Amino acid sequence: MGSVTYDFAGETVIVTGGSSGIGRAVALAFGGAGATVINADVRRDPKDVDADTPTDEAVDATAGRGEYVETDVSDPAALSAVVEAAHEFGGVDVMVNNAGWYNQASLFETAPEEFERIHAINAGGAFFGCRAAAADMIDRGVAGTIVNTASISSSHAQRDQISYDATKGGVKMITRGAALELADHGIRVNAVAPGQIATEFGTSVAEKEAAVDAGDMAKPIPLDRLGTPDDVAGAVLFLASDAAGYVTGELFYVDGGWQIY
Ligand code: NAD
């Protein structure tokens, strides 16, 4: 099958939630493409069982350069601060609003403070991440790109994750609304919508694999495997690249076909 290489040399990429899982794979992929990558995460150490160095150090071992800025995406001022920090490297060209939080609870079980917290991280992180990056891109006259991490949950309800699903529905519409508002500035905004990806998010990788093997899913995955963080990273780099120059406001599923039926 064909292969593709991207060139982001000379560009600065911010990845929120870049310490682990999908964000780490995205950071490493941009590093491999020559970018300066700022990991904006609340914690520097990876959660992944097979990752032994912080993402910024791992990116330094690629063609790119890695940095870490401690960032809580539920705080809009922290997102503005990391965008400001990117000025040291020429300013943000690509913003990946990826950090996320999960809550498994029904309509009646979800505490008001947990509802607010998950919205502040997932929807607020995408909203204020888009705003901080876009304001800076407009000031600098840069037609940058933004990629948000949505989910199959942006469009499909799943049992006992009503608040999570609501936040990811929000990410879909934040992506579309921002794409509409920012098109005049040449700034494209898209989202990836991962399905079941092998990360320590919500449940462990082992539990997710067992659920797929047992057919214990709301619907089977047509490609019959969990996705990998690299599967998602490939889509993020495509959407951020010139190859997707006429794509904006798109929700790009990376789910092994889960949402087909
Ligand atoms: P993960 O837990 O491996 O990584 C999430 C990262 O976000 C962690 O490094 C964590 O420290 C960071 N983070 C959490 N709260 C933060 C905050 N307030 N500020 C900054 N950083 C914070 O999970 P993942 O699977 O890589 O998830 C990444 C994104 O992908 C999330 O938005 C998630 O909703 C989405 N997603 C994941 C799956 C999946 O199956 N894993 C499916 C669909 C969507």
Q: Per residue in 32-54, pLDDT tens? A: 999 999 999 999 999 988 899 99
User: How many domains does the structure of the chain reveal?
Assistant: 1
Q: Give the model's confidence band at 219: pLDDT under 50 very low, under 70 low, under 90 confident, else very high.
A: confident
CA distance 148 to 19: 16
4 inside domain: no
CATH number of the CATH domain containing 204: 3.40.50.720
pLDDT of 215 reads 80
3 located within any domain:
no
User: If 0-12 CB within 10 Å is exposed, 13-18 middle and 19+ buried, where does residue 238 land?
Assistant: middle
Q: What pLDDT, on a 0 to 100 scale, did the predictor assign at position 216?
A: 77
Q: Is residue 178 part of a domain?
A: yes
Among 247, 22, 259, 16, residue whose Cα is nearest residue 133: 16
Let me know if residue 1 belongs to a domain.
Answer: no
Residue 138: exposed, middle, or buried by beta-carbon count in 10 A (0-12, 13-18, 19+)?
middle
Instruction: Tell me which of 68, 164, 253, 261 is the catalytic residue.
Output: 164
pLDDT digits (tens, 9 = 90+) for 159-194: 999 999 999 999 999 999 999 999 999 999 999 999
- pLDDT, one tens digit per residue, over 55-101 is 999 999 999 999 999 999 999 999 999 999 999 999 999 999 999 99
Measured from the CB, is residue 194 less than 6 Å from ligand 1?
Answer: yes
Task: Look at residue 209 and tell me if it is in a domain.
Answer: yes
**243 DSSP assignment:** G
Q: Is residue 143 part of a domain?
A: yes
Which atom of ligand 1 is nearest to 99's Cα? 7
Answer whether residue 103 is part of any domain.
Answer: yes
pTM score, two decimals?
Answer: 0.98
Positive/negative CA dihedral, 18, 165, 230, 147: negative
For ligand 1, atom 32, the nearest C-alpha belongs to 100
Specify if 133 maps to a domain.
yes
Query: What pLDDT shows up at residue 169?
Result: 98
How far is 43 from 156, CA to CA, in rounded Å?
30
| CA 141 / ligand 1 centre spacing (Å) | 31
- The residue range of the domain holding 172 is 12-256
Q: Which residue has the tokens 């992929």?
A: 29
Euclidean distance between the first and the last CA atom of the chain, given in angstroms as a whole number: 27
Residues 91 and 12: beta-carbon distance below 8 Å = yes
